[in-house]
Amino acid sequence: MTDRIERQLELAASAARVWESLTNPALLAEWLADEVTLELRPGGDASFRSGDELRSGWVEEVVAPVSGSDDADGGQSGRLTFWWAEDGEPASRVELVLSEIDPATTLLRIVETRPLEILDLVGVPLPGQGGARYGPALVAA
Amino acid sequence: MAEDPAGAVFGALAEPVRRQLLQTIADHPATATELASRLPISRQAVTKHLSSLSAAGLLERERAGRDIRYRVTPAPLTQAMSWMAEVGGQWDDRLSRLSRTLQAPGSPDATLPG
């Protein structure tokens, strides 16, 4: 029993184009939220506004798909991980992983998890020292 | 319930002993005396931790003769279920928008690697 959402879908686009949709705020505004700011580096700030709902967060990991990567037949893959929370709500972690199947098809997997409370309830230990890795909303709580 | 349930739950679970207690009670509802005999903690310490866990809404009490038996309340789990339904639905909407944007004709080219 964990707070975990997982979705996977094939998109009709190259890894480079999907990556652009995941990281360019103007393109993110077409599908993720009405207005997005995203500092593309670990520890960078992020904000997401949809209507009057505002979420803030931070970036954990950015791995852009690399052109002409070493493994010739393995497609490119990339990963963007961030945390977000509405004001006063527990933060959750969003992981977006893409892998190119062929130049016109990319598999996108999203996983959103809320690692506190329930995970802990079933005995999964908190990672890191004193849970210091958790997002700003939790530290404030 | 505290004003900020998530914060209260987090606080209650911050202590490893309390997580262990919660786990034990999740397996079998128990009284403070029974818990103290099963775990390497004094009855007094058990009682103290049980009240933190109860205050966070993680435990409920029931009378068992002269004693009080504790069981894990299902409420936080119910919250988890509704979180999953809500967040899952949001992702379905977002991903279908993303899929539509990428299929739209005239969008920027796909630069092919090497």
Compute the average pLDDT of residues B20-31.
87
Q: What is the ipTM of this complex?
A: 0.77
Tens digits of pLDDT across chain A (141 residues): 457 889 999 999 999 999 999 999 999 999 999 999 999 999 999 999 999 899 999 999 999 998 655 555 556 899 999 999 988 777 899 999 999 999 999 999 999 988 755 444 444 333 433 433 333 333 333
Lowest-confidence pick of A2-11, A95-104, B58-67, B77-86: B77-86
The DSSP code sequence of chain A is ---EEEEEEEESS-HHHHHHHHH-HHHHTTTT-SEEEE--STT-EEEEEETTEEEEEEEEEEEPPPTT-SSSSSPPEEEEEEEEEETTSPPEEEEEEEEEEETTEEEEEEEEE--STHHHHTTPPPPTGGGTTS-HHHHH-
pLDDT value at position A129? Answer: 38
When pLDDT is cut at 50, 70 and 90, the band that residue B103 belongs to is: confident
When pLDDT is cut at 50, 70 and 90, the band that residue B11 belongs to is: confident
Asked if residue B70 has pLDDT above 90, the reply is yes
**B58 burial level (CB within 10 Å; 0-12, 13-18, 19+):** buried
Is A124 an 8 Å CB contact of chain B? no
Choose among A79, A70, A67: nearest CA to A103: A67
When pLDDT is cut at 50, 70 and 90, the band that residue B23 belongs to is: confident
Q: Tokens 């949709």: give the residue.
A: A21
A28: nearest CA in chain B? B98
What's the token pair of residue B62? 């029931």
Highest-confidence range of B16-30, B75-89, B96-110, by mean pLDDT?
A: B16-30
pLDDT value at position A123? Answer: 41
Of the candidates B7, B14, B108, the beta carbon closest to that of A17 is on B108
Instruction: For chains A and B, count residue pairs whose Cβ atoms are closer than 8 Å.
Output: 107
Whether residue B47 contacts residue B67, with contact meaning beta carbons closer than 8 Å, is answered with: no
User: Does the beta-carbon distance from A21 to B102 stay under 8 Å?
Assistant: yes
Whether residue A14 contacts residue A108, with contact meaning beta carbons closer than 8 Å, is answered with: no
For B46, phi and psi rounded to 5 degrees?
-55, -45
A129: nearest CA in chain B? B14
Residues in chain B whose beta carbon is closer than 8 A to a beta carbon of chain A? 4, 6-7, 9-10, 13-14, 19, 22-23, 26, 58, 72, 76-77, 80, 83-84, 87-88, 91-92, 94-95, 97-99, 101-103, 107-108, 110-114
Give the contacts of A46 (CB within 8 A, at least 6 positions apart). A36, A37, A38, A39, A56, A57, A58, A59, A82, A84
**Predicted structure pTM score:** 0.58
When pLDDT is cut at 50, 70 and 90, the band that residue B4 belongs to is: low
